[in-house]
Amino acid sequence: MMADPLSRRAALRAGLALGAAGGLAGIAELASVGGSAAAGRQLRIGYLPITDSAPLLIAHAQGRYTQAGLDVARPILFRSWASLAEAFLAAEVDVVHLLMPFAIQLRYALGAAVRVIAWNHTNGSALTVAPGLGRIEELAGRQVAIPYWWSIHNVVSQQMLRTAGLRPVVREQPSAAAGTVQMVVMSPADMLPALDTGTIGGYVVADPFNAAAEIKKVGRIARFVGDAWRDHACCVVVVRQELIDRAPEQVQGLVDALAAAQLWINTHRQATAGLLSSGRYLPQPVAAITRALTYPAERYTASGALHHPSWQGQRIGFAPYPFPSYTRRLVEAMRETAVDGDTGFLADIDPETVHRELVDDRFVLRALAGLGGPGAFGLPDSLNRVEEVEPA
């Protein structure tokens, strides 16, 4: 008999909290008790109010799920990565966009039977600092906020800090003399007020929170994450294995709709901002969402926030194919990242095998074929690439 959903969710919440503190005992069992996804059942999508979620939301707004033969409920907004993961593991939602490092944690630390079926977007995040700060080195002795320990935000920000001669720390107090920067987890909605009051020196998070800080003149973008790791995947589309096993046709329709929405967004960014804003899906003002989706790259070259204008690193991109080279390089980078929690699971996994165990790219490959091939998204026909990581 399936566990009571409320009891299951309470247990998951407790387990994820323990996971943040380093105690993962019992979570593997909890992560496997989610409900079944029956073929033909209405699908439920969970998301956070960030531009990263745009493809899943635009596909709903434009009726693309219905066109693909799916019955999809209105996407459900969550306020934190932990609450989104709790609902996902408890089978309260079926499809989520999730931080790629978080997906690795769910699979290998918690033993959850989850699969990445597509990339949801590329780039889209930035290091935003207080207006008075110039170089990254000036963050010494301050706190930098991130949205979750196992996030690309934490991984790349620590790479940038170390390259600047600073040492990221977790529990010890930051010291300017020692050149340390304390990493703290904070809800994205709390980051801008904390920066405005001087509680933190900066934050690394998805847009439109960086754009909002610029518009309100309480922060400036010091570096785009996509300018440090070219076309990296921040959020990926994740489902439980049971959905793939029971209803592969639903998964294919989902990816078809998602990829078509991504292709449309790439050439309709202004319209995308309008569809997402005004309370339709995202609570932020249309000006911040529009800025996040459309602001020209060259505007940031003089400020030093953009080192590689040709990368278009500050602009969020939309392409569904999950590159194996990225998964491999990410696992290696996670091993070098300081977190307040368990890292032991990383020692037991092989970067060369994580991709094929975690990622199921069959649905994306079919979707690409139906949309004109990889070239329609600016991807190489070979679907191979070399990762370009330059945190300096």
Out of 196, 227, 258, a domain closes at 227
Are 249 and 114 contained in the same domain?
yes
Residue 117 confidence (pLDDT): 98
Residue 18 confidence (pLDDT): 40
Instruction: Specify if 186 maps to a domain.
Output: yes
Are 38 and 149 contained in the same domain?
no
Domain count, the chain: 2
Query: Are 42 and 61 within 8 A, CB to CB?
Result: no
Are 26 and 72 contained in the same domain?
yes
Instruction: Specify if 309 maps to a domain.
Output: no
Are 117 and 257 contained in the same domain?
yes
Residue 30 confidence (pLDDT): 42
Q: Write down the pTM of the prediction.
A: 0.91
Q: Tell me which residues of the chain have a pLDDT lower than 50.
A: 1-15, 17-30, 32-39
Instruction: Specify if 108 maps to a domain.
Output: yes
First CA to last CA distance, the chain: 54
Are 106 and 138 contained in the same domain?
no
Are 199 and 240 contained in the same domain?
no
Q: In whole angstroms, what is the distance from residue 175 CA to residue 12 CA?
A: 36
Residue 40 confidence (pLDDT): 57
Q: Which amino acid is at 91?
A: A
What residues are paired with 389 via a beta bridge? 229
Question: Quick count: other Cβ atoms within 10 Å of Cβ 303?
Answer: 12
Are 246 and 360 contained in the same domain?
yes
> H helices of the chain, where?
5-21, 27-30, 54-61, 64-67, 81-89, 100-108, 152-163, 188-197, 209-216, 241-246, 248-267, 269-276, 286-294, 324-334, 354-358, 362-370
What separation in angstroms does the CA of 105 have from each of 90, 95, 293? 16, 17, 29
Segments forming the whole domain that contains residue 100: 5-123+233-298+315-377
Residue 16 confidence (pLDDT): 53
**Per-residue pLDDT reduced to its tens digit, 337-356:** 999 999 999 999 999 999 99
Instruction: Specify if 117 maps to a domain.
Output: yes
Are 84 and 111 contained in the same domain?
yes
Are 27 and 149 contained in the same domain?
no
Residue 5 confidence (pLDDT): 40
Q: In whole angstroms, what is the distance from residue 306 CA to residue 325 CA?
A: 24
Out of 171, 196, 227, a domain closes at 227
Residue 38 confidence (pLDDT): 45
Residue 304 confidence (pLDDT): 85
Instruction: Specify if 384 maps to a domain.
Output: no
State the CATH number of the domain containing residue 173: 3.40.190.10
Out of 201, 227, 253, a domain closes at 227
Are 57 and 204 contained in the same domain?
no
Instruction: Specify if 388 maps to a domain.
Output: no
Residue 314 confidence (pLDDT): 75
Residue 299 confidence (pLDDT): 84
